Structure 1
Amino acid sequence: MLTAVPLATRPDFGISAVACRADHTRWSAPEVRSDYRVVLVRRGRFRRRAAGVAADLDATVAYVGVPGEEESFAHPDGGDHCTAISVTPELWRSLAGEGHRAGAGTGVGAGAGRAGQALYVDPRLDLAHRRLIATARSGDVDYALAEELLTLLSTAIGRTAAGPTPLGRASPEHDRRLVAAAREAIVEGHPASNALLPLAELLGVSPYRLSRAFPRELGVSVTRYRHRVRIGRALDRLEAGEKGLGALAAELGYADQAHLTRTMRQYLGHTPARLRRLLAAAGV
């Protein structure tokens, strides 16, 4: 039995928690998919066969799947729990380049590398996986989760690409211009700035490059910068006596009032209601 619970879904990507309860050594019927995907095991293990090469997968070895690839699975140990990340070809190519193909050696044996399917999960990638799952619960899918996803995908692509990718560092001048344009869009409230991926598309760069440019130029992530702008607007409204916190949260782009409250407490140590009282007292 296979069950999949969506953790986050957007037009460019989907992340699901997948649980498989099965116990068989035989290979399943071949299937072909049209998406790029990275599947990381949380518990248990299983086998995957693609391009005529079989790989044993567990918490230390993930796999990268590409469109048009025929794959089969076997579950000799009773099942597993995985995180499945599905990505559109457009997003994948923005990170990997137009000529990308999985294939170079991955450090998981010569046969696995040639198929481009096995990906060694070192401690850094393990942490990126855990952070992705934790961030999916935060409610900030369009920025915080998107940045965690881009970090994970860039690692997977960098280790499986058979050739150069567009993930190298840009010049400082390029970073300055890019961050300046992104800041303007965020501050002015351009509709594309509601999510990281549309913002990158508006600026004509890969989302990974935009994500990496902010820490290099400002010392903070684009997610934290956007929070800074929204928190400033929230403080303006609270200082003016705003009482409709649910409406305020929606207007500022938070998932709900609870998300606004968590963010204000995280950055300022107080709830919105407490901040409203503090600001009112400061004006006495």
Structure 2
Amino acid sequence: MLSFVDLATRPEFAVMAATCRNDHTNWSAMETHRHVQVVLVRQGRFRRRVRGIDMDVDPTVGYIGMPGEEEQFAHPAGGDVCTSISLTPALWRTLAGDTPWLTKSTVYVDARLDLAHRRLLATTRAPDVDYAGAEQLTGLVRHIVDQVIAAPTSAGASASPGDRALVAAARDLIRDAHPAATGLLPLAVHLDVSPYRLSRAFTRELGVSLTRYRNRVRVTHALDRLEAGEIRLGALAADLGFADQAHLTRTVRDHLGHTPTALRRLLAGACLTHTQEQQQAVAWASPP
């Protein structure tokens, strides 16, 4: 079951929270949209098929859909909570250029885009959507435009189906903190491939190294905890597998340009606590 909550709507754009409780493994019927769609995941994961290519969508990989594009979805892992951003073709052209050419439809959600997503959601709960909200929205979309249009190479286009499946399996292990995900070598052994092939496939598919992706996932977990009000940075570092608090701080600052303490202040009071977010996700998914 799919439900939507309208967070902000203007003539040029709409921001909605989408919650899916569907656990079917089969592909849905074909869907199309009139507007440009940007979808970023907050919780869970699902699969999308477009132009015969399957992709795994989770908090580290979103997607952009173009008007009239036929797409299908499957939810083999259960439900998810996403942010769906709809842009009119006219607004899209002002941000992407008059004749934008997409090199790919997947969007690698690096830590800065993750933070921009969270800040956009915060502005939709504030009264100044027309200025602060629109500013956050256009900044977020420009970040995506630079990746899917202005990027010098297409990270996903040249990857083989076998490499895409390999990277998807590695992402699952890293996301779930599998014991084999403690390093490149044990991860490659678990997946029965050479470390070189795994590392090369990862960079080709997502445009970032395996090491940076693993740290990206840990930074997401750190953001979740900071957003929920975590103040024990030493405990946070230990829980996420960092050597110490200084290691956590260096990694977070490298990915986001802010220290954990600065991020806690940035997000304080603007975002829902983790418990409130879970309660709202349940409310979104409940029938009226």
Normalising by structure 2, report the TM-score: 0.52
Matches within 5 A, 1:88-103: 88-103=88-103
Matches within 5 A, 1:1-284: 1-103=1-103, 116-161=104-149
State the partner residue of 1:248: none
Contact 1:32–1:68 (Cα < 8 Å) also in 2: yes
Deviation at 1:162, TM superposition (A): 5.9
Q: Deviations over 1:53-101 (max 9, x none)?
A: 1110000000011111100000011110000000000000001111102
Unpaired segments ≥5 residues, structure 1? 104-115, 165-284
Contact 1:39–1:84 (Cα < 8 Å) also in 2: yes
Contact 1:66–1:102 (Cα < 8 Å) also in 2: no
Contact 1:29–1:72 (Cα < 8 Å) also in 2: yes
2-structure distance, mates of 1:98, 1:162: 13
Q: Deviations over 1:120-148 (max 9, x none)?
A: 00000000000000111011110000000
1-structure distance, mates of 2:4, 2:31: 17
2-structure distance, mates of 1:76, 1:158: 31
1-structure distance, mates of 2:140, 2:150: 18
Deviation at 1:51, TM superposition (A): 1.1
**Higher relative CO (CA 8 A, sep ≥ 6), structure 1 or 2?**
2
C-alpha spacing 1:31/1:44, structure 2 compared with 1 (3 Å): same
Identity %: 57
Amino acid at match of 1:98: D
For the aligned residue pairs, the C-alpha RMSD in angstroms reads: 1.3
Contact 1:100–1:163 (Cα < 8 Å) also in 2: no
2-structure distance, mates of 1:85, 1:131: 14
What is the count of residue pairs matched by the alignment?
Answer: 152
Rg larger for: 1
C-alpha spacing 1:58/1:88, structure 2 compared with 1 (3 Å): same
Find the residue that maps to 1:7 and give its secondary structure: strand
**Which portions of structure 1, spanning 4 or more consecutive aligned residues, are displaced by more than 3 angstroms?**
none
Unpaired segments ≥5 residues, structure 2? 153-288
